[in-house]
Amino acid sequence: MTTAVAPTGAAPPATRTSKTPKGRKGMKSVYPSWFYIPAAVLFLIFFAVPTFSSFYFSLTRWTLFDVQFIGLDNFIQFFQEPQLVTAFTNTFIYGFVTSAAKVVLGLALALLLTGPILGRGYLRGVIFFPVLVSTIGIGFTFKALLDPFHGIVNNVLGFLNLPQPGWYTDPGLALLTVAAVDVWKGVGIATLIFMAGIVAIPHEYFEAARMDGAGAWSVFRNITLPLVQPATATVIILSLIGGLRSFDLIWAITKGGPGFTSDVIASVIYKQYQAGFFGLSTAGNVILFVVVIAVMVPVSIFLNRKQDEL
């Protein structure tokens, strides 16, 4: 009985040959392929079909009811209008700045919070809390806190006789301000992932290093940093994926303004959609698609190779 139903593919060849056709059928259906179907249907209808049709719609003048093929005009228009080019470069800046800051701050906080420190539970909770708050709510809160005239931040800076920048009204600063708020909101997840990575490093390594007289910096540089690499890769990939398509926070704080200086591709897609240029909007989507692939593929290959070297 037991040999007849041994279901694993790792069963020895002898038993495999002795199986009846009926038994083999039973073995196959232990892990039924139709388990893929529910997810596959959703994936196909709401992801694959739209993604592939976006390539076609990006080449059209489109109003949901009427489609007219116009070739590459949408893409030409996209790269001819300076504000759209700004959005293109801003997407990269936003993605890289938020991702880098989350890695550095998340790792630093994780090191702090896995060591002996006063109030560890409180600090962990408070750093993670913003993750739970609505992005739009956080956007409005910081819009008020960073208000150029009445906000507490500039009031304190004024009290200290420091310059009071127009955080989201200064064209050169708006995008970075939003990115900073994004880091403030998202650093909790990065910290959590890094903490998991640090705690997973066997304790013996640290003890051995200390026996050999390694200082704090040397332990970090030669043990923690290389061994926490999987967590680093996770944080980089997740925050890049999120950062490159970021929309909610930008829309809540600046709506892409002042002017178009803090627009990113995702906000342009929405603006063109609102204006009724569905074809142009979808072209923006295809451009975002290309940007994300162009960034994510080399980054993941690089991170994977680094992992293999260890």
* Smallest distance, other proteins to C-beta of residue 211, A: 12
Contact 178, 262 (CB under 8 A): yes
Q: Which of 85, 152, 275, 301 binds other proteins (CB under 8 A)?
A: 152
**Residue 86 or 281 with smaller CB distance to other proteins:** 281
The answer to the question of residue 50 lying near other proteins (CB under 8 A) is yes
User: What value, to the nearest 5°, has the Cα angle with vertex 157 and ends 154 and 161?
Assistant: 130
Q: Which of 112, 214, 219, 223 binds other proteins (CB under 8 A)?
A: 112
**Of 91, 70, 75, 89, nearest to 272 (Cα)?**
75
Which residues, 2 to 21, sit near other proteins by CB under 8 A?
2, 5-10
Which residues, 130 to 149, sit near other proteins by CB under 8 A?
130-137, 140-142, 144-145, 147
* Smallest distance, other proteins to C-beta of residue 135, A: 6
**Residue 79 or 129 with smaller CB distance to other proteins:** 129
The answer to the question of residue 200 lying near other proteins (CB under 8 A) is yes
The answer to the question of residue 53 lying near other proteins (CB under 8 A) is yes
**Residue 46 or 79 with smaller CB distance to other proteins:** 46
